[in-house]
Amino acid sequence: MSQSIHPSVFIHESAIVDAGASIGENSRVWHFVHVCGGAVIGRHCSMGQNVFIGNKVIIGDDCKIQNNVSVYDNVTLEDGVFCGPSMVFTNVYNPRSFVDRKSEFMSTLVKTGATLGANCTIVCGNTIGKFAFIGAGSVVNKDVPDYALMVGVPARQIGWMSEYGERLDLPLTGSGDAYCKHTGAKYTLANGTVTKSN
């Protein structure tokens, strides 16, 4: 398999990009990064120092992966996902060193625009909704709704976050409207779901 690295991609001389990997326009691969050959990485992404990207990994455009993050097999990041420094993905739910569980990897999907705070852990098999915000150090062990703000161990929802990253003045349940303090965009909560309407 040949490499498909766009000529504009910056790859630091200490990084290793295995044959077969695909990396889109203007992405940056910093010190000591290892990208495996099956990885597909979009445009305008940044992979900070000591990042690892596995084989069965798809990363969209405009993702920022901070230092010391390993994106293991069966993890998919849509566009604009922020992975804070030293956050942790997993892909085996019940690992045992004596038991081979390579055929039991569980998938993790992180939807567009989500932020995964520094040092958080995403237990495999869960989906992080679009523009969800996971606080630093949280442990996520269930699906997260779009725009939800989650903190703690285990992560609990304490609110809602706008696409810009501002808290929204909405209740956790019920219904209501709120406006992003920065952009003025309107968000509506109804039937447990937040949607942005402009």
Ligand X SMILES: CC(C)(COP(=O)(O)OP(=O)(O)OC[C@H]1O[C@@H](n2cnc3c(N)ncnc32)[C@H](O)[C@@H]1OP(=O)(O)O)[C@@H](O)C(=O)NCCC(=O)NCCS
**In the complex, which residues of this chain contact ligand X (CB under 6 A)?**
84, 117-118, 135-138, 151-152, 158, 167
**Closest separation in Å from C-beta 21 to ligand X:** 26
For ligand X, the closer CB: 20 or 85? 85
For ligand X, the closer CB: 17 or 113? 113
- The answer to whether the bond into 154 is cis (omega within 30° of 0) is yes
For ligand X, the closer CB: 42 or 84? 84
**Closest separation in Å from C-beta 171 to ligand X:** 15
Measured between alpha carbons, how far is 87 from 68 in angstroms, rounded to an integer? 8
**177 - beta bridge partners?**
188
Mark 115-128 as b/e (b = at least 16 C-beta within 10 Å): bbbbbbbbbbbbbb
**Closest separation in Å from C-beta 116 to ligand X:** 8
**Closest separation in Å from C-beta 162 to ligand X:** 11
**Contacting residues for 8 by C-beta, under 8 A, at least 6 apart:** 25, 26
CB 61 within 8 A of CB 80: yes
For ligand X, the closer CB: 112 or 119? 119
